[in-house]
Structure 1
Amino acid sequence: MRNTIIITVLLFVAIIGASIYYFANLDGDKKETLRPLTFLPKETFLITTFQNNATTDNIFKDFEIFGALVGRQEFEQWQTLKAKLLRHAAMQPYVNDVDLYVSFHPEKDAITSLFTIPTSARIDTSAIRSFLDNAASTYTITQKDTLEHRIYSLDKGVKDSVFHIVYHEDIFFASFSERILYQVIDKQSPKLGRDQIDYFIDNNSRNSPLSIYFVHEQISQIAEHLMRRKTGDFIELFKNLGGQSAWNLSFKNDALILSGESETAHRKEHYIELFANQHKTSQTLYNYFPQSTASYLSFAISDPDRFRNDLFSWLEQQKELPRLQAQFAEIKRSKDVSFEEDIRPIFGKEFALVEQSNQAQLAFISVADSNQLDAFLSSIATHISDSLYRFDHSNIPFALYGDPLKSFQRPYFLRIANILVLANYESLLSEYQRDWRRVNLLTNTLGFKNSERIQGNEANITCFIRTSTSSSIINNLLKPDFRESFRDKKDFGYQDFYSWSIQIAGNNGHFQSSIYGVYKSKNALGSVADWTYEFDHRPITAPQVFEHSDTSQFILMQEQDHTVHAISPAGSKLWSTVFHGRVVGEAQQLEDRSIVLVTDRNRLYRFDPDGNSLPGFSLGMDNEPTYSPTIGDVGGKPLIFIPAGQKLLVFTLDGKKPESWNHKNLEGKILFDVKVHNDQIFVGTENGHFYQFDAQGNLLKEEIIADSHFNNPIALIRPEQNQYAVYAIDTANVSFTIDFRDELKTYRLEPDGHRSLISFFPNTEDIAHRMVIINQKHVLTKGIQDSSALFDFTFTQEITDRPQYFAEGPNNYLLGIASRRNYLVYLFDEKGSIRDGFPIEALPDFYYGKIDYNSATYLLCVRRDRKLYAFKH
C-alpha cells in the first residue's frame, strides 16, 4: 500500500511554509494582486503568500517548526539577505504595502525557491546596480544580460549560495537558481493558468498570516521528484484528480496546521469524487489500530445511500460492475444470499487500511448490524479457528467500498466487538489478536494522543503517518538527497515530528481539506527540562514542595534504598539522608516548618528543612502505619493522628503520648486518613465501623454498617448548616451519610463495580463537595449533595492509581491522573478540560505548581531513567 509515501508531499508543503520566515518582516497592509503570479512557471509545486505587518513578525519569530523544516543554515543565510536587501532604507519605500510570494520549483535532486516581490512604484533599472553595490557590499556582484533583461548575482564565496535577482515588469524575482529566473522572464515558457490563479486569490484568507496554494496536477510530479520508487496507493488515489487547493495557516507553536478549500475536476472515474457529496463525520476505527501502526488511511461515510449510488456509477466507469454482478448472481443461485439485501446491510459506514512498521497491511470495517452478521456469517465465510474466519467469495470488500480495499480479494477476518479486521494472511490476524488482548494499541501512544488532540476525528478521509514507526519506510522511499535531509537531526527537525496527517471532507461537490504536522516543540511541556535530578535508585514517592525559609522552598522525595533527598528549586541537592523504612503516604509540614512523616518500619520522624531531626525523633511505634499522619488542633493542642491498621496512634508534637489519649483499638483496618474537625475526630474502617471521638479521646458514638465492605477514603460533608457528617462509599457503590445522630442515609451511585477508586476534592475547610470515581478506564466527577455529574473521561487503559490534587487558587484544584500502563499523566481542570500540554510521558506520582515562592508553574515528574524532571509550564 505504501501510505507513508504521502509524507513526501507533506514534508514538501512544510518546507514551503518555512521558507517565508525571514522574508515576512516587512510592514504594511496586504493588497490583492494577480499579476505577479502570471509569471510563475507551469511547473510550480507550491505558492505561499503572507501579510507584511508586525503581527506576522511576532507570529513567525518563535515558530520553531520553520527552522526545523527549512534548515537552520538556510535560515541564517536568508536572514542576512533579508536584513541587507529588504530592510535597506533605499528599498523600503518600494516594497512596503505589497504582497510577497514564495514559490517552489523542481531542480535536479533539489527543490528551489523563488521569491516574487512586486514594487509599489517603478524603479529605474539604472539605479538597481547602485542600490545592490550599496546594500550588499560584502558580496561580489556580477551581472548578465539575457532575454533583454539584466540578472544580478550576489556571491559571498560559499558554494551553492549565489543569489540571483532580476527586475521584470516592476517585480523583483530572486532565487538561488538562475534557471528559474530564465523561466520567469521567457515569454515562451509555459506559465500558471489564470483559472488556477483566480482560485488561489478567491480562497486566500486575509486573516491568516500565511496562505498556500497547491495545484493537484503536481502530485505525481512531486512524488516522482522526491521518490526513488513507484508511488503507493495513497498517491494513486489522488493522481489525475485535477483542480487545486488553497490552505491558510492556523498558528500553533507545536504544530503546522493548514486548512482550506479544495476543488477537483469532477472526473467521475476518480474514486475521491465519491466523497464530494458526503460531509464530515466521526471516525472511530483508529481506536482499534495496533501500536505498530506506521500509517493509516481511514474513510467515513455520512450518507450511505448516496455513497452506494455513487459507488455503483464508479464501478460502471471502471468496467467492474458486470463482473461483480455476475459473481453475486451466482452466490444468490447457490446459497440464496442476496448481496444487496443480505450482505450489504451487515457492514457499516467506516473502513480503513493500516500499514504497520514491518509494512504488513490490515484493513478494518465497521459492522452496522451484528444480528444480521450472525445470521449470514456461515453463508459468506468459513470458520477457521476461535473468532477467525475467511470469506468464501472474492471481491466482497471491493464491492462494498471500492478501490482502497481491492487488494483484499478473499481475506481472512477477525471479529472484535463491532468491527472486522481483515488480512491476506492468517498469521497477521493472530498477531493482531495478541496486540488487542494486551491493549497494544495506537491510541495508547503519547504521539498519537498529541495528534488526536490537534487534528480531531471528524472527516471523510484521513491519512495519518507516524514519524517514529514509519521513518525506515520513508528512508527507503526518498531519493538520496532528500533522505539525507530527513535524517539530519542537526540542521533539520523532521525526526522531531510526532506525525503528519491529511483530512478531507466533502462539501457540496467540493472538499474541505486540512494538513497537520505535530511537532515535539522545545517550548511544549515535557520537551526540554529546566533541570533534571538523577537518583541512584528508582524514586518511590511523589515530589512534595515545602517551605525552607522565608525566601525559599525545597522539594522532598525518597528513592528505593530509602534515601530521602531535599532538592532546591534549581535542581541541586540540599541534603540527603537514609530513613529507616519507606515513607508511608505523604509528609506534613507544621507552622514552624518542621516536617512530620512515618515509615513502614514503625518510625515517626520530625525534622527541620535542613534535615536535622528534632529532639526525641525519630521514634518507634508499636504498629506499622498504613497511611499519612493527620496533624490536627484538638482541645487547643496540636496532635499527630496515625492510622496503623486496626489501631489509631496518637502523639504530641514532642513525640509523647498525650495523657488523655490512649492508642485506640478499632474493629477493622482504618480507611486511609483520619478526619479532624471542631475538636472531634472521625475514623472509618474497612468493615463498616465508624467512630466519633472527642478532644480527650473519649468515644462519643460508633455506627456499624453491617454486611458492607469499604476500601476508599471517607470524607466530611455538611448536609445542613452547622452540622457535619461522615460520607463513605462501600464496594457496591452505595453511599452512606453518617451524622452519628439520625438514621443513616443511603444512595446508590453509578457506575456499579467493586473496583471503583473513589476520592474527594480537597477543600480549605476540609469539607468535601465533589468526588472522583474511577472505574477501570472511566473517570467521573460528581457533586456529593446532589450527585450531579460534573464531567467524565474515558482512558484507553485501566487506571489503577488514585488521583492527585493540585491547588490552583482558593478552593480550586486541578485533578491529576496517571495511566500507569502506558506511562502517561493527565491534568484536568474543574470543568474536565485537559490542561494544555497534557498528557505527557511520565510515571505516576507527579507534582504541578510553583516550586518556589515566586517561581513559574512547573511540572515535576519522574521518567523511566530514574530522573526527576522540572518542566516549566
Structure 2
Amino acid sequence: MKKILVILIILVTGVSFMAYLYFSKLNTENNEKDLALQSATNNAALIFAFQNDKSFYQIIEGQSLIQQVLGNQKSNLLKALKLYFIQDAALNNSIANQEIYLSILPDEEKELNFLITVQLQPDKKVQNIYTILKSKYLIDDQGNDVFKIKLNDSLSIFFGTKNQVITASTSKKLVIDAAVRLAENPFTEYIKQNNTYNKNVLGQIYINFNKTPLLLQNIIAGKLNGEISIFDKQNSYASLNYNFSKEKILFNGTTELKSTDNYLKLFEKVPNQTIYITNILPSNTANYNLYAFDNYENWRKKLITWQTNFDDEKKVSKTIDEVKSDYRVDLNSIFNTYTKNQFICFQLSTAEKLGAISLSNGEKVKQLLLDVSADYNEEIKIFKQSDVLYAFFGTPLKKFARPYYTIIDNNLVFANNASTVQAFLNSYKNNKLLINEASYLDAMNLVSTTSNLSFFINTNNSKDIFKENVLSPYYKHLRADSGLKSFDTFYYQMSADGNKFITNLLLNKYLQSEIPDTLRNR
C-alpha cells in the first residue's frame, strides 16, 4: 500500500511539473508574440493596426480622405516610410504579413507624432535588418539599441531594435519610451481580446480613453471641461473596424466602459431608442451630447444609486424636499410621470449652451412647474430652486444650476441666460433647424436611427469655438482646404448591447451634387 501511495505521489508530482513547464513555455511564447503590441500600447491613446500586405497599401492609396485628416506632413512621412522600407524587398521580407501598429502620441516637442511598431517574423533576426540598413543609409548609433537613420537630405528616422521588435519615429523620445514594456497593461489585454482581424477588415482602430487627456492637452488650450470633459478620467476602451470609402471615414465596432462609477454606465443594458429630440435643434448647432433610455422611472433608480455612491443623494433629496416644503410642489411626481425617454445638451455657434428634455405632456408640466418658477416673460420662466435638473438627470445638467426655460411642443428647453432661450425660440419658430441642413441629413443617413448615446460636432458651426479653444497649429489644420475644412460632421454613436456599446464613428464630408449647366438658368 505504501509503495502504491509513493508511486501515485510521484506520478501526480511529475504530471504537475510537466503541466507547469508546458504552460510556462506557452505563456512565454505568447508574451514574446505580444512584444510589439506591448511597445505600441505604452501610453498610447490611439492605435491603428493593419496587416503588412500589398492589398492594404493598394486600397489605402485610394483613400484621399485619410490623407486629408492626417495632413500633408504626416501623410508625406508615411509615404516616405513605405517607399524606403515596405517597398524594399530585402527589408520587407522580414515583416511580410506581420501586423503593424501605428500609435499616436505626444512627443518631446509636445506635438502629436507617430510611433510605428512591428514584430519580425520568428525566423528573422534584428541583426539582419541592421546590416541591410547600414549598407544603404548613414546610421548614427544613439545607444540603448536606438539608431538614427538619415534617409535623405530632409528626413531622418529613429529606429529602436529591442528583442524581435522594430520601432520607428521621427521622435527619439517615442522610440526610447516604447522600449519600456509593461508586464500588465489593461489596454494591451483589451486589444488582444478584441483583435478580430480578417480579410474583410482593412484595419482596426483602438482607443484608450484613459490616455485621451494626454492627446487632448496638446491640442486644446486650457483644461478638459465643458463638452469635452467626457473624455477626462474616462476608464473606457473602443475597438473599431475601418470601412473603406472614398466619400466618408467610418469605423464601427464596440466601446466598453470599465469603471463602475462611470455616468455612462447608466445607459448599459438599456434598449436602443429612436432619436427625435434632435429635430428641435437650431441650424447653427455646433455640437451636442445626447442621452436616451426606455423608461425614465427605471433609469432614475439607477441614477439614484449612482448619486448615492458619490454622496450626492442627500443633496438631491434636500433639493426635492425644499421645493416640496417651500412651494408645495412634488418634483418626483412631475419628472417621474412626464419625462419621456431622452435628453440632450447642445451648444450653438455663438458658444451659448442649452439643454432639452423630452416630455410626454408639455402643457401639463408647464402648469405643474408654475409655483416653482418665476416669470421672465410670457414664454420664458426661471426656476426658483437651484439644481432641480441635476437632481433628476445627473452630471450632464449640473452646469444648468438655476436655468431659464421654456416648454414647447413637449420639450423642456433651458439655458443659463434668458437671451439664449429666446434665440432658440426664434430659430424654432422660423423653422431654422439643423434637420433642414443637407449636410446633417447626409451624415445621419450613414448611422443608426436608434441609439442610447451620441456625441456630435458640426465643424463649420464650431469654427469660432475651435478658434478659442484649439491651439494654433491644429486650428490651422482644422480650417485648411487641404486639411479638415471640407469635413462637416464628426459623430460618435453608442447603442447598448449588454455590457458593451455597439459604436459608429463617422467623419463625413457632404458632397453637394452639382447642377448641370443646362439646368442652371431654367
Q: Normalization by structure 1: what TM-score?
A: 0.53
Q: Is 1:244–2:237 an aligned residue pair? A: yes
One-letter amino acid of the counterpart of residue 183, structure 1: D
Q: Distance in 1 between matches of 2:299 and 2:61?
A: 46
- Alpha-carbon shift at residue 422 of structure 1 (Å): 0.9
Contact map agreement 2:41 2:188 (CA 8 A) in 1 = no
Q: Normalization by structure 2: what TM-score?
A: 0.86
Partner of 1:276: 268
Q: Distance in 2 between matches of 1:193 and 1:65?
A: 36
Where 2:214 maps in the other structure, the secondary structure is helix
Partner of 1:381: 373
Of residues 247, 262, 265, the one that matches 2:258 is 265
Q: Distance in 2 between matches of 1:350 and 1:387?
A: 23
- Alpha-carbon shift at residue 123 of structure 1 (Å): 3.9
Q: Distance in 2 between matches of 1:174 and 1:259?
A: 28
Of residues 486, 508, 532, the one that matches 2:498 is 508
Q: Is 1:151–2:147 an aligned residue pair? A: yes
State the Cα deviation string for residues 287-340 of structure 1 (Å, max 9, x = none): 101111111111111242331111111222232222332232233344443222
One-letter amino acid of the counterpart of residue 67, structure 1: Q
Using CA pairs below 8 Å that are at least 6 residues apart, which structure has the higher relative contact order? 2
Q: Is 1:131–2:132 an aligned residue pair? A: yes
Q: Is 1:203–2:199 an aligned residue pair? A: no
Q: Distance in 2 between matches of 1:228 and 1:330?
A: 40
One-letter amino acid of the counterpart of residue 69, structure 2: L
Contact map agreement 1:122 1:170 (CA 8 A) in 2 = no
- Alpha-carbon shift at residue 76 of structure 1 (Å): 3.5
**Which aligned runs of 4 or more in structure 1 are off by greater than 6 angstroms?**
none
Where 1:429 maps in the other structure, the secondary structure is helix
Of residues 142, 150, 164, the one that matches 2:139 is 142
- Alpha-carbon shift at residue 419 of structure 1 (Å): 0.8
Q: Is 1:412–2:404 an aligned residue pair? A: yes
Where 2:385 maps in the other structure, the secondary structure is coil
Q: More displaced, 448-457 or 323-332? A: 323-332
Partner of 1:69: 69
Where 1:500 maps in the other structure, the secondary structure is strand
Partner of 1:98: 98
One-letter amino acid of the counterpart of residue 226, structure 2: D
Of residues 311, 318, 324, the one that matches 1:332 is 324
Distance 1:375 1:249, change over 3 A: same
Q: Is 1:302–2:294 an aligned residue pair? A: yes
One-letter amino acid of the counterpart of residue 514, structure 1: N
Q: Unaligned stretches of 5+ in structure 2?
A: 1-31
Contact map agreement 1:115 1:175 (CA 8 A) in 2 = yes
Kindly report the root-mean-square deviation, in angstroms, between the aligned alpha carbons of the 2 structures.
2.6
- Alpha-carbon shift at residue 379 of structure 1 (Å): 3.3
Partner of 2:34: 34
Query: Percent same amino acid at aligned positions?
Result: 18
Of residues 486, 489, 492, the one that matches 1:496 is 486
Of residues 228, 231, 235, the one that matches 2:224 is 231
Distance 1:195 1:229, change over 3 A: closer
One-letter amino acid of the counterpart of residue 94, structure 1: S
One-letter amino acid of the counterpart of residue 78, structure 2: W
Distance 1:441 1:150, change over 3 A: closer
One-letter amino acid of the counterpart of residue 61, structure 1: E
One-letter amino acid of the counterpart of residue 46, structure 1: L
Q: Unaligned stretches of 5+ in structure 1?
A: 1-31, 534-541, 544-556, 560-844, 846-873
- Alpha-carbon shift at residue 129 of structure 1 (Å): 4.3
Between Structure 1 and Structure 2, how many residues are aligned?
A: 488
* Correspondences of 1:758-777 after superposition (within 5 Å): none
Q: Distance in 1 between matches of 2:454 and 2:250?
A: 15
Q: Is 1:399–2:391 an aligned residue pair? A: yes
* Correspondences of 1:740-755 after superposition (within 5 Å): none
One-letter amino acid of the counterpart of residue 398, structure 2: K
Partner of 1:170: 164
Where 1:191 maps in the other structure, the secondary structure is coil
Distance 1:150 1:448, change over 3 A: closer
Partner of 1:109: 110
Where 2:501 maps in the other structure, the secondary structure is strand
Where 1:359 maps in the other structure, the secondary structure is coil
Distance 1:315 1:166, change over 3 A: closer
Distance 1:170 1:331, change over 3 A: closer
Contact map agreement 1:48 1:211 (CA 8 A) in 2 = yes
- Alpha-carbon shift at residue 518 of structure 1 (Å): 0.5
Q: Distance in 2 between matches of 1:294 and 1:228?
A: 18
Contact map agreement 1:49 1:212 (CA 8 A) in 2 = yes
Q: Distance in 2 between matches of 1:501 and 1:203?
A: 22
Partner of 2:419: 427
Distance 1:487 1:525, change over 3 A: closer
- Alpha-carbon shift at residue 124 of structure 1 (Å): 4.5
- Alpha-carbon shift at residue 375 of structure 1 (Å): 4.8
Distance 1:84 1:330, change over 3 A: closer
Distance 1:80 1:410, change over 3 A: closer
State the Cα deviation string for residues 728-774 of structure 1 (Å, max 9, x = none): xxxxxxxxxxxxxxxxxxxxxxxxxxxxxxxxxxxxxxxxxxxxxxx
State the Cα deviation string for residues 344-402 of structure 1 (Å, max 9, x = none): 31222211111111111111111123464255243333444333333333222111211
